[in-house]
Amino acid sequence: MKSKILFSLSLLLALCGTARAASTNLVTNGSFEQGTLGIGSFDGWTTNLGDVNTFVDSSGQTGLNYGQASDGIWAAYFGSTSDTGGSSISQTLATTANQMYTLTFDLANDNGGLPASNSFVASIDNLPLFSVMNFADQGFVQEQFSFIATGSATTLQFAGFNDQSYEELDNVVVSSAVPEPSSIALLLTGVLMFGWAALSARHRSAAGIF
Beta bridge partners of 153: 94
Between the CA of residue 87 and those of 118, 147, 157, 164, 195, what are the distances in Å? 12, 24, 11, 15, 59
Q: What is the pLDDT of residues 92-132, one digit of tens each?
A: 999 999 999 999 999 999 999 999 999 999 999 999 999 99
Q: How far apart are CA 148 and CA 107, in angstroms?
A: 23
Query: Can you give the pTM of this predicted structure?
Result: 0.74
- 16 has pLDDT over 60: no
- 19 has pLDDT over 50: no
Note the pLDDT of residue 4: 46
> CA 77: distance to chain centroid?
19
Q: 126 and 49 in one domain?
A: yes
DSSP at 173: E
Q: 155 and 91 in one domain?
A: yes
Higher pLDDT, 164 or 9: 164
Higher pLDDT, 96 or 18: 96
Q: 112 and 68 in one domain?
A: yes
Q: 31 and 12 in one domain?
A: no
- 186 has pLDDT over 90: no
Q: How far apart are CA 210 and CA 93, in angstroms?
A: 59
What b-and-e string marks burial along 19-44, b requiring 16 or more CB atoms within 10 Å of the CB? eeeeeeebbebbbbbbbeeeebbbee
Residue 61's pLDDT band (cuts 50, 70, 90): confident
CATH code, 40 = 2.60.120.260
- Average pLDDT of the segment spanning 171-186: 68
Q: 189 and 170 in one domain?
A: no
Q: How far apart are CA 104 and CA 51, in angstroms?
A: 26
Note the pLDDT of residue 134: 98
Residue 63's pLDDT band (cuts 50, 70, 90): very high
Q: 52 and 1 in one domain?
A: no
Q: How far apart are CA 159 and CA 54, in angstroms?
A: 10
- 49 has pLDDT over 90: no
Structural domain boundaries, residue 210: 1-23+178-210
Q: 18 and 49 in one domain?
A: no
Please tell me the total count of domains within the chain: 2
- The per-residue pLDDT of the chain, averaged, comes to 80
Q: 138 and 199 in one domain?
A: no
- 89 has pLDDT over 60: yes
Q: 192 and 128 in one domain?
A: no
Q: 153 and 79 in one domain?
A: yes
Q: 172 and 190 in one domain?
A: no
Q: How far apart are CA 169 and CA 54, in angstroms?
A: 11
Higher pLDDT, 17 or 58: 58
Q: 203 and 131 in one domain?
A: no
Q: Is the dihedral of CA 75, 80, 82, 85 positive or negative?
A: negative
Q: What is the dihedral of CA 12, 16, 19, 24, to 10 degrees?
A: 170
Residue 21's pLDDT band (cuts 50, 70, 90): very low
Note the pLDDT of residue 20: 44
